[in-house]
Amino acid sequence: MTQHDDVREVIIIGGGPAGYTAALYSARAGLNPLVIEGVTWGGQLMITSDVENYPGYPDGVMGPTMMTDFRRQAERFGTEFVTDEVTKVDFSERPFRVWVEKDEYRAKSVIVATGASARWLGLESEQRLQGRGVSACATCDGAFFRDKPIVVIGGGDSAFEEALFLTRFGTKVTLVNRRSEFRASQIMVERAKAHEKLELLTPYTVEEILGDTSVTGVRVKHADTGETLDLEAAGFFVAIGHDPNTKLFVDQLDHDENGYLVTKPGSTATNIAGVFAVGDVQDHTYRQAITAAGSGCMGALDAERWLAEHEGPEHEG
């Protein structure tokens, strides 16, 4: 067990747009932040291709490039990083305590920015064939399916973005959605409909992913008639939304029925004074890099103000 002696002003848990923006602002405010950023730092943008809607990049930017820039900008003002996973937290008394395995860190304030993770369908075949044709990341794995048929599941912007990206590789891309209506924005749906390699198949659910050692096809079932259909596929991409990464916090911080942390309206404050939540971990509505970054900024300002108001030994413990 290693207890780090110093009590930090602020620890930020999570290294995505929200966490790095919180770090940038708190570093510039002289709070010497520590970001525990996870092993695969960068968050969901690390598995995104072109980001076309982040203001300031008129020609678009690759997600990993943007996150490397975010991180560098936070680092420039003195942010320190631990590239590992938080394994436990204790917010029951101050200073708050955060563990990375046997390393214990302490801080007067904590900003939770752990984001959300891709959801899976939960089929046995999906788990068995993961890395063998089943993927949740078109940017990472798309190139493996050059000149092969691909199936994408989902009807939101993520599914359409992945399907459009995958047309660069596949002979044909079939987007399968469980409803005939799509959640995705009109522009994405229109782009997909106009694409000669892309087919939209609705309303179908996935029965099974076919293949013994690698994906050979997908059995889908019509949501109304129950009729089944076998689609040929070498790649199977799941893009059905996300769940918040809140397992570490749900016994200590208020959350909604889906596990998203609840913050006070117009603020990033949680139910525990001195603990703040920013980005996708507390936002299931907007979930954009720009809104996550904005929320990270709010968290840093809230933490800074809170520290200024609560500084002093009489408030410790």
| Contacts with ligand NDP, residue ranges (CB under 6 A) | 53, 121, 153-159, 161, 177-179, 183, 240-242, 287
- Say if CB 12 and CB 33 are below 8 A apart: yes
CB closer to ligand NDP, 53 vs 83: 53
CB 241 within 8 A of CB 122: no
Helices (H), 29-146: 63-76, 124-128, 138-141
Nearer to ligand NDP, 59 or 147 (CB): 59
Determine the Cα–Cα distance for residues 63 and 163; give it in Å rounded to an integer: 17
Q: Which of 141, 280, 283, 302 is catalytic?
A: 141
Residues 6+ apart with CB under 8 A from 259: 243, 244, 246, 250
Instruction: Considering the complex, state which of residue 177 and residue 282 has its C-beta at the smaller distance from ligand NDP.
Output: 177
In contact, 276 and 299? CB cutoff 8 Å: yes
The residue (of 284 and 310) whose beta carbon lies closer to ligand NDP is 284
* Cα 226 to Cα 124, 142, 187, 206, 221, distances in angstroms: 20, 31, 31, 11, 6
Does residue 140 carry a catalytic annotation? yes
What is the closest distance, in whole angstroms, from the C-beta atom of residue 311 to ligand NDP in the complex?
38
Sign of CA dihedral 170, 171, 177, 178: negative
Largest CA distance in the chain: 69
* Shortest Å, Cβ 53 to ligand NDP: 5
Supply the DSSP symbol for 193.
H
Active site residue 137: yes
Q: How far is the CB of 163 from ligand NDP (least distance, A)?
A: 11
In the block, tokens 């003195």 appear at 78
If the CB atoms of residues 78 and 156 are measured against ligand NDP, the closer one turns out to be 156
CB of 74 to ligand NDP, least distance (A): 24
Q: How far is the CB of 41 from ligand NDP (least distance, A)?
A: 20
Neighbours of 48 (CB within 10 A): 23
Residue 229: CB partners within 8 Å, gap ≥ 6? 204, 219, 220, 221, 222
Question: CB nearest ligand NDP: which residue?
Answer: 156
Catalytic member of 6, 69, 90, 140 = 140
Tell me the CA end-to-end span of the chain in Å, nearest whole number.
22
Give whichever of 119 and 172 is closer to ligand NDP, judged by the CB atom: 119
> Based on CB atoms, which residue is closest to ligand NDP, 11 or 218?
218
- Shortest Å, Cβ 164 to ligand NDP: 10
Nearest-approach distance from CB 154 to ligand NDP, in angstroms: 4
Q: Where are the alpha helices (DSSP H) in the chain?
A: 17-28, 63-76, 124-128, 138-141, 157-166, 186-194, 289-310
The Cα–Cα gap between 109 and 277 comes to 11
Q: Which of 50, 103, 137, 254 is catalytic?
A: 137
**Known catalytic residues?**
137, 140-141
